[in-house]
């Protein structure tokens, strides 16, 4: 039987089990709840769609599927806010699955968080796809320091210079 209820910012209630949340290292999320009360209610500063996904990551047998990258980044923010390392690690692995489809967004998110391997892999993918398109990365761009984005543009420039040099060396134009 659920012994705690989370209320999202938009008022949706989520019954949960504090024992399972403790196993998910949810101490930060459970702060402010009172032991001994039959069912506690805790306000969580997140929209219901994010809180629903976040709580699925807390339950060991339930893993969310078919998430989009902006949702998963919001879940990561929530996990880090409440210092839930296990959930953050699961979310990080999930973010890596977007490298092929959203390499710029993954690069920006990974770079800001200091995830070198993911940032490197995403940057490689982004620069080899052609000109960098930031249209699907606008949310991440708002919180990304300019030097991080500049570094990606610099990588792309160097990549295209190397291609041009290889072509000029191996296929000289006959005038």
Whole-number Å distance between alpha carbons of 71 and 78: 11
Tell which wins on pLDDT, 133 or 154. Answer: 154
What's the confidence (pLDDT) of residue 117? 94
* C-alpha torsion sign, points 94, 99, 102, 105: positive
User: Residue 134: pLDDT band by 50, 70, 90 thresholds?
Assistant: low
Instruction: Give the helix/strand (H/E) hosting 163.
Output: helix 146-170
Tell which wins on pLDDT, 27 or 10. Answer: 10
Whole-number Å distance between alpha carbons of 59 and 46: 18
């Amino acid at each position: 039987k659920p012994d705690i209820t989370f209320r999202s910012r938009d008022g949706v209630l989520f019954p949960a089990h504090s024992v399972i949340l403790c196993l998910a290292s949810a101490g930060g999320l459970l702060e402010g709840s009172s032991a001994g009360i039959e069912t506690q209610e805790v306000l969580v500063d997140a929209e219901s769609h994010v809180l629903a996904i976040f709580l699925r990551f807390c339950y060991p047998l339930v893993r969310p599927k078919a998430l989009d990258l902006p949702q998963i980044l919001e879940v990561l923010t929530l996990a880090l806010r409440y210092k839930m390392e296990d959930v953050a690690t699961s979310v990080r692995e999930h973010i890596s699955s977007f490298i092929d489809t959203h390499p710029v967004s993954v690069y920006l998110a990974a770079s800001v968080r200091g995830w070198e391997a993911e940032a490197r892999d995403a940057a490689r993918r982004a620069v080899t796809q052609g000109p960098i398109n930031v249209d699907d990365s606008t949310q991440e761009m708002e919180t990304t320091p300019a030097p991080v984005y500049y570094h990606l543009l610099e990588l792309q420039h160097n990549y295209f210079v190397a291609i041009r040099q290889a072509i000029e060396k191996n296929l000289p134009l006959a005038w």
